[in-house]
Amino acid sequence: MNCESTESQRFNRLIESAFWPTSTETIPAVEYEMYYPTQFVRRIRRSDAGSFMSQKLGRTVQFESDLERLFFRLLENTPEVIWYAEQALRTSYTVNAKSYFYRPDICVALKDGRCLVVEIKQCREMGFWNNRIKWDALKEFCIKNGWGMLITDGYKTIECLRKRKLNSKFVEQIRDYLDKGAMPLSIYREIKYRHGAKDEDFSALVVQEDLRWCLNPFQIYLP
């Protein structure tokens, strides 16, 4: 089995795990230039940011992380993908009655005519409350436009977290503490180590229980 077919199978598994609205719409090829990327990695001071020449697009594609670079390579090697653009969309979300704008990572056009908006995040980041607020708004945006939505690290998706089986005692202890109030970092670490839980387990619990997980300062609390 060659590399292209293997990566095509992986991509197909990812899009099967994506969210798809009941009614889907396409982006006509003549409109692709309307979604030309408007963000540039030269503004991002990260050692794993960079760019490469896309054979599929015939232009330079810029990435902000190694996860993005690897996902772009997947898109390049997948025949089902006919076009993509990095940070070519802008959508909004609201926090405490204040509106903010952000750009999802990638917009993808598939050979079967469907379109897919992709956010590239580590599994741990899928549980962060600030990300999930954005994705709730992005889901509404995708429903309105008839596009799919995929949250992934390139291998696993947020749907994997929703289906992940967790240690019942670990879940019970987290719930019991949160019933009393917000959980600080010290308690999180204590419970995590006591049950041998991984970061991915905790992200799965946050997603499954719809908990609020913030980093600055570190806090976990009930909705």
pLDDT, averaged per 10 consecutive residues of the chain (223 residues), comes to 70 95 80 70 67 94 94 95 92 90 93 94 94 95 95 96 95 96 95 94 95 92 93
Say what the pLDDT of residue 96 is: 85
* Nearest to 50, CA basis, from 36, 30, 35, 68: 68
168-201 as b/e: b if 16+ CB within 10 A: eebbebbeebbeeeebeeeebeebbeebebeebb
Say what the pLDDT of residue 49 is: 87
- Distances in Å between the Cα of 167 and the Cα atoms of 14, 171, 195 are 26, 6, 8
Say what the pLDDT of residue 24 is: 87
The answer to whether 45 and 64 are in contact (CB under 8 A) is no
In angstroms, the CA 68 to CA 76 distance is 12
Say what the pLDDT of residue 146 is: 94
3-state SS assignment for residue 146: coil
The answer to whether 144 and 165 are in contact (CB under 8 A) is no
Environment class of 1 (CB within 10 Å of its CB; exposed 0-12, middle 13-18, buried 19+): exposed
Say what the pLDDT of residue 97 is: 87
Say what the pLDDT of residue 149 is: 97
Say what the pLDDT of residue 46 is: 66
Say what the pLDDT of residue 52 is: 94
